[in-house]
C-alpha cells in the first residue's frame, strides 16, 4: 500500500514538473506583446508562412531573413510601416534617405529599386490590393540593409583584414528599426555617424555635380611651374580647377595672369595636399590636380567607409593621429586645440591603426630596444666595433634585470625569439625617445615619444620610424596631457628633467588617442584634404569596395 502511494505521489510530481516546463517553454516562445500598442493593432497580420513565401519570391530577402522573422515575431506579426490609417510618416522619410545611397554606398541596398517602385505605386494609389503587406516587409529589409551598410559598414573581420584595429562602434539594427517606427522624428535627429562623414559626403555630392557638368580641366604640364607674374593659357585651367573644387572664390576664371589671389588659393590647396606652401604651381602639385575625378571620388568613398567604423563623436580631450598626413591633432570636445607634425613607421615597419588611452607620461625614458632592432642593427654593429654598446650609451640586463657585460653574452646562441637578455639605451640627449614618451598600453608595442632627430619633422613625407610615433612638439604635448593634473607642477617637471632619472607619471584621467588612416577629409576651414596612400591601404580597399573594374559611381 505504501509503495502504491509513493508511485502516485511520484506521478503527480512528474506531471507537475512537465506542466511547469511546458508552460515555461510556451511563455518563452510567446511574442513580446509589450511592443504592441492595442490602439494601433492592424486589421491584418503577417505570418511566418507569408514571410517564407516572400523570401522565395524575393531572394534578396535571405540576407536578413532571420532578423526579419524575429522582428515580426516579437510584434505578433503586426505590420511595421502601416497602421490603421495607412502608411506611417517615417516611411516617406526613410524612402527619401534611400535616394542618396547610389552615390555614397558602393554596394546598393538590396531590393532598393523594387521597394521604391512599390512605394511610388502606393503613393499614386496604384499598388494592387494586398501588396502593401509585401511593401511592409521590403521596407523592413531595406532599413536593416541600409543600417548595416551606411551606419555600420563592412564587418569587423573584413576591416581587420584591411589593417584597421580601431574598436568598432556597436549598433543593434533591430532596436533602431523599433525606434524609427515608434518615433516619427527619429530619423531627423538620429546621427550615428561621425560629423566628418556628412562633410565628406557633401563634398562627394559637389564632385558628382562637377562630373555631370564636364568634369575638371586638365592642367598643361609642358611648362615646369607657374608663379607670380607668369601669363599662360594653362593658368585659365588652373583657375577653373580651383573654382570648381572650392579653392578659388573669385568667379573670374578667364584671367591668364598668375596674380596674388591665385597664389593665395594655391597655397591653401598645397596645405590641403600636404605640400610645401610656396604658392608656386609646380610639378608635384600639377600631378595631383590632374588625378582623374573618378579616382578622387573613389578615394572619398573609401574614407566614407572608414568613417562608418568609428564612434560618432568624442567628448573631453582626445588625440587623433592621421598616418597619411603625418599629423597629430589635439582636440577639446569637437574643437581642435592645436596640431603638430609627427613621424610614423616606414612602409616596411608600418604604424598600426588602433586606439587606446594614454595612461602614463615617462620623463627621461630608457629605450628598451626591441629584439628585431637588436639583432638586425645593434648586434651587427657590436661585431664590427666592440665599443658599440659604450659609444651608444647602452646596457645589457640579464634575468632579474641584473647588469651583464656585453662580452659575457654569447650572442650567436640567440635570435629575436629566444633572447633572454634586454638591451636598453640610458636616458640622455642621444636617446632615440628624447626626453619624454607617452604610453597607452597595447599589444602592438606602439607609443608616442620625443626624438633628437628634429630634421625629419620638416620633410613632407615623414615615414622614418620603426613603427612608434615621433612627436614634433613633445613638450607641448606633455603640458597639454598633464594640464588637468594639479599635482604635477612645472617646478616638479623641471626637477625630474634635471635629475636625469627615468620617472613615470600616472595620469589621474587617461587621454584617448586614435591612430587612424584617412586619405580624404574636410578640414576646419571647409576645404577638402587629400593625402597620399603611403601604406597602399586605399589600394587594398579598392579591391573590396569596387569589385568591378569599370565601377560607375
How high is the pLDDT of residue 271?
Answer: 95
How high is the pLDDT of residue 553?
Answer: 41
Above 70 in pLDDT, residue 19? no
SS3 402: coil
Above 70 in pLDDT, residue 17? no
SS3 510: strand
Determine the average pLDDT of the residues in 304-324. 88
Determine the average pLDDT of the residues in 27-51. 59
Q: Can you tell me the distance from the alpha carbon of 390 to that of 366, in angstroms, rounded to the nearest whole number? A: 15
How high is the pLDDT of residue 313?
Answer: 65
Determine the average pLDDT of the residues in 3-18. 45
How high is the pLDDT of residue 26?
Answer: 45
According to DSSP, residue 150 is labeled: I
The predicted-structure confidence for 454-497, as pLDDT tens digits, reads as follows 999 999 999 999 999 999 999 999 999 999 888 889 999 999 99
Q: Kindly indicate the confidence band of residue 448, based on its pLDDT and cuts at 50, 70 and 90.
A: very high
The whole-chain average pLDDT of the chain stands at: 88
Place of cell 577638402: 528
Determine the average pLDDT of the residues in 267-290. 95
H or E stretch including 359? strand 354-363
How high is the pLDDT of residue 168?
Answer: 82
Q: Can you tell me the distance from the alpha carbon of 7 to that of 9, in angstroms, rounded to the nearest whole number? A: 5
Q: How many CB atoms lie within 10 A of CB 132?
A: 18
Alpha helices in 433-506 (DSSP H): 474-482, 490-499
User: What percentage of the chain exceeds 90 in pLDDT?
Assistant: 68
How high is the pLDDT of residue 314?
Answer: 67
The predicted-structure confidence for 394-438, as pLDDT tens digits, reads as follows 999 998 889 999 999 999 999 999 999 999 999 988 899 999 999
According to DSSP, residue 164 is labeled: B
Strands (E), 26-156: 82-83, 86-87
The predicted-structure confidence for 491-503, as pLDDT tens digits, reads as follows 999 999 999 999 9
How high is the pLDDT of residue 25?
Answer: 39
Place of cell 515608434: 182
How high is the pLDDT of residue 75?
Answer: 86
Which range scores top for mean pLDDT: 16-20, 142-146, 170-174, 331-335? 142-146
The predicted-structure confidence for 97-107, as pLDDT tens digits, reads as follows 888 788 888 88
The predicted-structure confidence for 49-80, as pLDDT tens digits, reads as follows 988 999 999 999 999 999 999 999 988 888 99
Burial class (CB in 10 A: 0-12, 13-18, 19+), 427: buried
**Cβ proximity of 330 and 480 under 8 Å:** yes
How high is the pLDDT of residue 265?
Answer: 95
CA dihedral 200, 143, 306, 215 (to 10 degrees): -40
Determine the average pLDDT of the residues in 233-261. 91
Q: Can you tell me the distance from the alpha carbon of 306 to that of 330, in angstroms, rounded to the nearest whole number? A: 20
Determine the average pLDDT of the residues in 32-39. 49
More confident residue, 512 or 39: 512
Contacts of 286 (CB under 8 A, 6+ apart): 219, 221
Q: Can you tell me the distance from the alpha carbon of 54 to that of 451, in angstroms, rounded to the nearest whole number? A: 64
How high is the pLDDT of residue 43?
Answer: 54
SS3 332: strand
CA nearest 324: which of 138, 152, 519, 514? 519
Q: Kindly indicate the confidence band of residue 146, based on its pLDDT and cuts at 50, 70 and 90.
A: very high
Amino acid at each position: 500500500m505504501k509503495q502504491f502511494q509513493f508511485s502516485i505521489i511520484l506521478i503527480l510530481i512528474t506531471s507537475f514538473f512537465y506542466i511547469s516546463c511546458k508552460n515555461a517553454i510556451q511563455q518563452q516562445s510567446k511574442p513580446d506583446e509589450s511592443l504592441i500598442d492595442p490602439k494601433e493593432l492592424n486589421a491584418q497580420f503577417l505570418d511566418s508562412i507569408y514571410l517564407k513565401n516572400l523570401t522565395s519570391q524575393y531572394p534578396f530577402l535571405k540576407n536578413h531573413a532571420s532578423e526579419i522573422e524575429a522582428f515580426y515575431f516579437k510584434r505578433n506579426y503586426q505590420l511595421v510601416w502601416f497602421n490603421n490609417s495607412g502608411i506611417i510618416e517615417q516611411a516617406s522619410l526613410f524612402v527619401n534617405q534611400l535616394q542618396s545611397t547610389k552615390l555614397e554606398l558602393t554596394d546598393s541596398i538590396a531590393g532598393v529599386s523594387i521597394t521604391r517602385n512599390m512605394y511610388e505605386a502606393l503613393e499614386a494609389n496604384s499598388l494592387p490590393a494586398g501588396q502593401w503587406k509585401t511593401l511592409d516587409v521590403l521596407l523592413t529589409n531595406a532599413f536593416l540593409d541600409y543600417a548595416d551598410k551606411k551606419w555600420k559598414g563592412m564587418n569587423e573581420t573584413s576591416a581587420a583584414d584591411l589593417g584597421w584595429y580601431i574598436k568598432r562602434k556597436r549598433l543593434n539594427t533591430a532596436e533602431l528599426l523599433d525606434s524609427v517606427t515608434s518615433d516619427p522624428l527619429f530619423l531627423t535627429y538620429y546621427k550615428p555617424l561621425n560629423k566628418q562623414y556628412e562633410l565628406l559626403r557633401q563634398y562627394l555630392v559637389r564632385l558628382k555635380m562637377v562630373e555631370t557638368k564636364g568634369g575638371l580641366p586638365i592642367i598643361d604640364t609642358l611648362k615646369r611651374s607657374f608663379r607670380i607674374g607668369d601669363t599662360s593659357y594653362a593658368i585659365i585651367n588652373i583657375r577653373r580647377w580651383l573654382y570648381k573644387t572650392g579653392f578659388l572664390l573669385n568667379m573670374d576664371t578667364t584671367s591668364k595672369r598668375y596674380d596674388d589671389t591665385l597664389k593665395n588659393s594655391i597655397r591653401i590647396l598645397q596645405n590641403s595636399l600636404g605640400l610645401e606652401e610656396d604658392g608656386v604651381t609646380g610639378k608635384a602639385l600639377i600631378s595631383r590636380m590632374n588625378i582623374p575625378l573618378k579616382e578622387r571620388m573613389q578615394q572619398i568613398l573609401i574614407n566614407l567607409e572608414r568613417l562608418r567604423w568609428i564612434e560618432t563623436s568624442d567628448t573631453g580631450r582626445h588625440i587623433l593621429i592621421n598616418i597619411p598626413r603625418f599629423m597629430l591633432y589635439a582636440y577639446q570636445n569637437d574643437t581642435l586645440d592645436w596640431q603638430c607634425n609627427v613621424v610614423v613607421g616606414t612602409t616596411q615597419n608600418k604604424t598600426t591603426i588602433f586606439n587606446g588611452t594614454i595612461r602614463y607620461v615617462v620623463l627621461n625614458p630608457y629605450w628598451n630596444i626591441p629584439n628585431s632592432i637588436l639583432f638586425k642593427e645593434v648586434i651587427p654593429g657590436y661585431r664590427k666595433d666592440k665599443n658599440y654598446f659604450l659609444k651608444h650609451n647602452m646596457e645589457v640586463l640579464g634575468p632579474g634585470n641584473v647588469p651583464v657585460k656585453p662580452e659575457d653574452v654569447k650572442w650567436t646562441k640567440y635570435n629575436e625569439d629566444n633572447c633572454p637578455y634586454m638591451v636598453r639605451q640610458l636616458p640622455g640627449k642621444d636617446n632615440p625617445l628624447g626626453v619624454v614618451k607617452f604610453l597607452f598600453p597595447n599589444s602592438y608595442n606602439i607609443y608616442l615619444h620625443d626624438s633628437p632627430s628634429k630634421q625629419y619633422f620638416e620633410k613632407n613625407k615623414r615615414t622614418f620610424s620603426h613603427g612608434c610615433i615621433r612627436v614634433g612638439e613633445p613638450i607641448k604635448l606633455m603640458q597639454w596631457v598633464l594640464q588637468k593634473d594639479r599635482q604635477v607642477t612645472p617646478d616638479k617637471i623641471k626637477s625630474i628633467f634635471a635629475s636625469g632619472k627615468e620617472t613615470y607619471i600616472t595620469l589621474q584621467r587617461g587621454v584617448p588617442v586614435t591612430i587612424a588612416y584617412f586619405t580624404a577629409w574636410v578640414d576646419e576651414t571647409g576645404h577638402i584634404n587629400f593625402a597620399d596612400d603611403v601604406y597602399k591601404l586605399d589600394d587594398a580597399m579598392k579591391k573590396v569596395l569596387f569589385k568591378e573594374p569599370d565601377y560607375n559611381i
